[in-house]
Structure 1
């Protein structure tokens, strides 16, 4: 089920609980009238718990989203530094720089597949092993450059290690999603809360309208949680602008540059 489907399901269940509460009120109005103070007290406790936990979840999800953005900024910095070091050896570094650029293209296709009309697939350590192999190939090629200093080689290894470490952190973060049971419990509190609100409501049109507004707010909170914990799809996505700018500054791929001329002929 996609994010909008989950939010719609939560909104539907919460609103159904509110309507059920209204029917309970209408079936036994004397008992509902006598229990108003108790219902308000219980709903106050549940509402406070729900607000505290929901606030913590949104804050944690936003921190996770910012962490992913920071990781990608650091990843771009590592790749840019490797490319910058390769530029110091213009007569020997064309092939390693092309290999590096093609790896950046694959990173964009892996984490932002919607640019190519595809959906995000599972990202795992197999992807990282392929990147490690190519980074090692770039380092091995750099070791054969003429007049390369030991400091340059150490810099290559440092930025390569940083690249692998950041990628590993990104993959690990993607694998540790928010537990579904936690969300079920929290939004179960919301459904119970709306049931209690319905129990002290007489069910006129205005009250039903305000209950509907509350349900929409609950669904939007769930939408924020799901969007922020899935930072590579949906509306709120980690920006790929840094990678796009990096690609513009990297070496021109002869295969891509030859495509327009081939089509023109």
Structure 2
């Protein structure tokens, strides 16, 4: 079931619980009236627990989203630094830079859903092993550059190590999703809360309308949690604009070199 389907199911169940509460109120009005204080006290307790835990879940989900965005931006910076170091060796670095360009294209297809049919759940350490192979190829090629210094080699190796480390962190974080049972428990509280609200209401149209709005609000909270913990697809996505800019610069670089060489010949 997709995210919208889950949210719709939560809203439907919560509103149904409220309707069930209305029927309980109509079937046993005397019992409800005598237990009104207890019902209000229990609903206040559950409402407080629900508000605290829900706030923590939304905050944690937002922190997860920001963490993914920071990792993705760091990944772009690392690849850009490797490319800048390779640019210092024109001609010799053409093949390694071509490998790096293909890697950037693959990363965009891997993490950006609008560029590929693959979902982030399909990302695993097998993809990382392919990247490590190409990173090692770039490092081995850089050792054969003429006039390459030890500092240059150490810098390329350090950025390569950081590239692998960041991707490992992204893959690990994608595998650590919000526990489904935790969401079931929290939104189960919401359903119980709506049932109690229905019990203390006489079921007029205005009360039904406001409880319907409340069910929509509960579903929207679930929507935020699920969207923010799946940051590479959906409505709230990690921005790939930095990778697009990097790829554009890598594509345009050879064209600038050709233009510069033709001007020199003239």
Shared fold by TM > 0.5?
A: yes
| 1:38 counterpart residue number | 38
Indicate how the Cα distance of structure 1 residues 183 and 111 shifts in structure 2: closer, same or farther if over 3 A, else same. Answer: same
| 2:68 counterpart residue number | 68
Show CA shifts across 1:221-263 (max 9, x none): 0000000000011100000011001111114599xxxxxxxxx
Structure 2 gaps of 5+ residues are 255-266
What secondary structure is seen at the aligned counterpart in 2 of 1:234? coil
| 2:243 counterpart residue number | 243
In the TM superposition, 1:193-212 aligns within 5 A as 193-212=193-212
| 2:263 counterpart residue number | none
Distance in 1 of aligned mates of 2:2 and 2:58: 19
| 1:262 counterpart residue number | none
Show CA shifts across 1:138-165 (max 9, x none): 0000000000000000000000000000
- Is the Cα contact below 8 Å between 1:124 and 1:171 reproduced in 2? yes
Aligned pairs, how many? 253
What secondary structure is seen at the aligned counterpart in 2 of 1:250? helix
| 1:147 counterpart residue number | 147
Distance in 2 of aligned mates of 1:65 and 1:41: 36
Q: Give the root-mean-square deviation of aligned CA atoms.
A: 1.1
Which of structure 1's runs of 4+ aligned residues deviate more than 6 A? none
Instruction: Please state how far the C-alpha of 1:92 moved relative to its aligned partner.
Output: 0.5
Structure 1 gaps of 5+ residues are 255-265
- Is the Cα contact below 8 Å between 2:110 and 2:118 reproduced in 1? no
